[in-house]
């Protein structure tokens, strides 16, 4: 496995010092703009054209060598840096900086043929053979040895190269090799449990092994959650810990690479590309955020009416992971991707609109996968900055417009600003998502990740752009906090919530919040057991809703409109000072007619609302004015204003402020504005009013 100091359990509160890639000598700092570049996949004569077109598009950064191990170390210990040296020199002379990869993302064939023991295994023991990417196991000491040799060679060779401004460590860790069930992984998992729990009795307690005779006498009896038969149920505590371990194991591998590179080139900032999206919970990215010099993210759009909302939600979560330090969008698509069953293209205007939305949410680097669209391989139909159609294409014209626009924003001072803190924080928690994924829950339609997004969208419908923050971040500084189906709450987190409300905070907690502790042991006494005193209600039983059996309840109507979906809470007791905001009004046979569904309760100097069901974001939005009133807030709620997503960035001294406006609808929207229009895309400003076309965006400076 390697030394134990590379495996960290729990959340690391000490963060690496923030460092951002600096511009090339003689250049002024501006928003980084570019993308992944794979010159080794193209003939040499294409490179000159690439450089010409990059300069035309105002590209100033490319990520280089991500999947180039086989072309750098052509056989064991034999390195060929000639082609890489040449293209880096060409880029540097053109004023284009390099974010250089450690090149370890996928091992070459010579390595896996000589050492098949580095290949990961699935839960049935099947080997993941070479043929795609990320076919290595994070817990293999053999693979680590080879990878660190490559890191050392890369760092020593490019330690003094002025064109290299940052290290791109690995690539999308865990995208394909998140879980490994090999014997290497088993031994590492045992070691991880030793470090976390100290003795086997503590493991038995955490995993509840008294159930189904799973008690263990020694750490050697711990095995990964391998195949246990179709339709059977894995121990929830064990599975949750294995997900935590898997994140830590990959993080330990990343740290080993990072430290090798940093030991040789200490002046160069390092990052790796996360995959934060609404459903993207492969790793605990908030935990990982403390281990990079600057946060980077890969984000790919969700087709349909959630497109801009999901993008803004995810970008806000990245901003929260970065603790509002500038971050880099390392990958996005110019149009279609290649990995969905139906790969929808982006609508006109969305390429520029999406990039500006990430910028609004704190990204000071806007990059794409990839520069030139591949003509062969599995990603040949994935869009790129320079598509198959070449420079005479709308995509490339949009890329050039975007490059000029980002340069203009840089000149206007956007780099001196950060995202303005919202009054409302929506909380997301990786552990709660992982626990909610278990196959033995009240409903398989319940997942944590869907609810923060629904609440973000509902608040946006009311004209409120919330911040999305990880559970372990400092959300106490917000006026109001939403806990949307945060299934796991440790005793410490529950006490944080009590302190927040007791000292005047406003809380909105929803169904399926505070059900279990951090070991996934249910809080007893009625739901939400962790914070029932704060919200002033007692839930006796879940009421799952669905359409898989004729005659079963599909939804429950609320007395003021809207309906519950997926799950409702049977609230049987409320405190004397709890106010009922809404109740069910449905058929008596459901047993829910007249049962409270939304309540408000004073706690200390603050107030806590409880929403005892799941609803669509539209139904949530219809109740937000009532909830806000019950909480005693003075939010400026506007359903009409909800047509436009508004985000602000401001300098630390308040002297510079930028307002970003994005059309959330498929209709033309107009609204009064103040400030000077700096950048317009499918929009116009006239006489103090902005008109946004579909997918329109405007940036105003104050």
**Domains of the chain: residue spans and CATH:** 32-414 (3.20.20.80), 424-631 (3.40.50.880), 643-701 (2.60.40.1180)
Which helix (H) or strand (E) element contains residue 609?
strand 606-611
Residue-wise DSSP of 330-380? EE--SS--SSSSS-PPPPTTHHHHHHHHHHHTTEEEEEES-SB--SSSTTT
Beta carbons of 296 and 274 less than 8 angstroms apart: yes
- Which residues, listed in sequence order, are joined to residue 469 by a DSSP beta bridge? 427
Secondary structure letter of residue 519 according to DSSP: T
Which is catalytic among the residues 73, 172, 437, 454?
A: 172
In a 3-state reduction of DSSP, which class is residue 381? coil
Distance CA 45, CA 400 (A): 23
Could you count the other beta carbons within 10 Å of the beta carbon of residue 677? 15
Note the Cα 278 to chain centre separation in Å: 6
Distance CA 317, CA 305 (A): 20
Evaluated on CA atoms 298, 301, 306, 312, the torsion sign reads positive
> What torsion do the CA atoms of 487, 490, 496, 501 make, to the nearest 10 degrees?
40
pLDDT at 330: 98
Catalytic residue flag (residue 684): no
Query: What's the token pair of residue 163?
Result: 């064109």
Q: Which residues contact 465 (CB under 8 A, 6 or more apart)?
A: 312, 422, 459, 645, 646, 647
- Which residues, listed in sequence order, are joined to residue 580 by a DSSP beta bridge? 599
pLDDT at 13: 61
Beta carbons of 511 and 568 less than 8 angstroms apart: yes
Q: Which residues contact 493 (CB under 8 A, 6 or more apart)?
A: 471, 518, 530
Catalytic residue flag (residue 172): yes
Distance CA 418, CA 416 (A): 7
The candidate with the shortest Cα–Cα distance to 254, out of 46, 356, 107, 104, is 104
523: left (phi over 0), alpha (psi -120 to 50) or beta: beta
Which helix (H) or strand (E) element contains residue 33?
strand 32-37
Give the E-state strand segments of 474-553 in sequence order. 480-483, 506-510, 537-544
Q: Are strands 164-168 and 467-470 parallel, antiparallel or unpaired?
A: unpaired
User: Residues at the annotated binding site for substrate?
Assistant: 133, 171, 339
Tell me the H-state helices in 462-526: 491-502
- Give me the average pLDDT of each 10-residue run along the chain (702 residues): 42 82 97 98 97 98 98 98 98 98 97 98 97 96 98 98 98 97 98 98 98 97 97 97 98 98 98 97 97 98 97 98 98 98 98 98 98 97 98 98 98 98 98 97 96 98 97 97 98 98 98 98 98 98 96 96 97 98 97 98 98 98 97 87 95 96 97 96 96 98 96
Which is catalytic among the residues 73, 257, 291, 331?
A: 331
Distance CA 596, CA 533 (A): 17
Q: How far apart are the first and last CA of the chain?
A: 54
Distance CA 268, CA 264 (A): 9
pLDDT at 636: 86
Could you count the other beta carbons within 10 Å of the beta carbon of residue 4? 13
Cα–Cα distances in angstroms (integers) from residue 499 to residues 421, 507, 527, 628, in the given order: 21, 11, 20, 20
Which helix (H) or strand (E) element contains residue 428?
strand 424-428
Secondary structure letter of residue 370 according to DSSP: -
Beta carbons of 127 and 119 less than 8 angstroms apart: yes
Query: What's the token pair of residue 197?
Result: 């729990």
Which helix (H) or strand (E) element contains residue 602?
strand 596-603
103: left (phi over 0), alpha (psi -120 to 50) or beta: left
Secondary structure letter of residue 387 according to DSSP: -
Phi, psi of 136 (to 5 degrees): -105, 155
pLDDT at 414: 98
The candidate with the shortest Cα–Cα distance to 522, out of 542, 496, 497, 499, is 542
Query: What's the token pair of residue 334?
Result: 């110019």
Note the Cα 59 to chain centre separation in Å: 26
Cα–Cα distances in angstroms (integers) from residue 512 to residues 443, 523, 619, in the given order: 11, 12, 18
């Amino acid at each position: 496995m390697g030394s134990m100091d590379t495996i960290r359990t729990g959340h690391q509160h000490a963060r690496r010092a923030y460092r951002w890639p600096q511009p090339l000598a003689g250049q002024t700092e501006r928003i980084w703009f570019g993308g992944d570049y794979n010159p080794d996949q193209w003939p040499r004569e294409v490179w000159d054209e690439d450089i010409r077109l990059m300069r035309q598009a105002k590209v100033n950064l490319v990520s280089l060598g991500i999947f180039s191990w086989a072309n750098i170390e052509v056989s064991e210990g034999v390195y060929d840096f000639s082609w890489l040296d040449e293209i880096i020199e060409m880029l540097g002379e053109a004023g284009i900086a390099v974010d250089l990869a450690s090149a370890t993302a996928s091992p070459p064939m010579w390595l896996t043929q000589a050492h098949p023991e580095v290949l990961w295994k699935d839960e049935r023991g099947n080997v993941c053979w070479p043929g795609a990417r990320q076919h290595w196991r994070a817990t293999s000491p053999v693979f680590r040895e080879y990878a660190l040799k490559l890191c050392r060679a890369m760092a020593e060779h490019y330690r003094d190269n002025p064109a290299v401004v940052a290290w791109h460590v690995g690539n999308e860790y865990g995208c394909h090799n998140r879980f490994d069930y090999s014997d290497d992984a088993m031994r590492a998992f045992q070691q991880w449990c030793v470090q976390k729990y100290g003795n086997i009795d503590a493991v038995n307690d955490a995993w509840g092994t008294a159930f189904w005779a799973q008690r263990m006498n020694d750490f050697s009896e711990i095995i990964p959650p391998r195949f246990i038969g179709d339709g059977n149920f894995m121990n929830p505590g064990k599975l949750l810990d294995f997900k935590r371990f898997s994140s830590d194991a990959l993080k330990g591998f990343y740290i080993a690479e990072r430290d090798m590179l940093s030991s040789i080139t200490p002046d160069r900032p390092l990052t790796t590309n996360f995959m934060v999206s609404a459903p993207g919970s492969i790793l605990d990215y908030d935990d990982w955020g403390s281990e990079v010099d600057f946060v980077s993210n890969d984000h790919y759009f969700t087709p349909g009416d959630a497109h801009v909302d999901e993008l803004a939600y995810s970008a806000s979560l990245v901003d929260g992971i970065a603790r509002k330090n500038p971050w880099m969008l390392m990958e996005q698509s110019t149009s279609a991707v290649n990995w969905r069953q139906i790969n929808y293209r982006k609508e006109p205007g969305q390429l520029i609109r999406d990039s500006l939305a990430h910028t609004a949410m704190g990204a000071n680097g806007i990059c794409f996968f990839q520069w030139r669209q591949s003509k062969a391989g599995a990603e040949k139909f994935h869009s790129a900055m320079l598509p198959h159609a070449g420079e005479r294409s709308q995509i490339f014209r949009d890329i050039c417009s975007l490059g000029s626009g980002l340069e203009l924003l840089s000149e206007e001072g956007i780099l001196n600003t950060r995202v303005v803190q919202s009054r409302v924080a929506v909380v997301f928690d990786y552990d709660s998502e992982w626990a909610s994924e278990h196959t033995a829950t009240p409903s398989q339609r319940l997942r944590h990740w869907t609810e923060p997004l629904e609440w973000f969208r509902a608040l946006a419908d009311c004209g409120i752009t919330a911040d999305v923050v990880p559970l372990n971040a400092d959300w106490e500084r917000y006026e109001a906090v939403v806990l949307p189906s945060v299934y796991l709450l440790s005793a410490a987190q529950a006490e944080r919530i009590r302190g927040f409300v007791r000292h005047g905070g406003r809380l909105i907690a929803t169904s399926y919040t505070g059900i279990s502790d951090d070991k996934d042991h249910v809080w007893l006494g009625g739901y939400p057991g962790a914070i029932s005193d704060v919200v002033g209600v007692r839930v006796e039983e879940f009421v799952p809703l669905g359409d898989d059996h004729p005659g079963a309840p599909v939804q429950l109507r609320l007395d003021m409109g809207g309906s519950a979906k997926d799950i409702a809470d049977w609230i049987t007791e409320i405190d004397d000072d709890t106010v009922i905001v809404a109740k069910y009004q449905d058929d008596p046979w459901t047993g829910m007619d007249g049962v409270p569904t939304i309540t408000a309760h004073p706690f200390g100097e603050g107030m806590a609302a409880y929403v005892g069901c799941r609803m669509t974001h539209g139904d949530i939005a219809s109740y937000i004015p009532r909830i806000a009133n019950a909480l005693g807030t003075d939010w400026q709620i506007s359903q009409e204003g909800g047509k436009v997503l508004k985000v602000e960035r401001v300098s630390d001294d308040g002297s510079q402020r930028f307002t970003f406006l994005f059309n959330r609808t498929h209709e033309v929207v107009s609204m009064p504005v103040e400030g000077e229009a700096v950048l317009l895309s499918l929009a116009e400003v006239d006489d103090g009013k902005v008109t946004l076309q579909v997918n329109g965006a405007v940036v105003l400076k104050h």
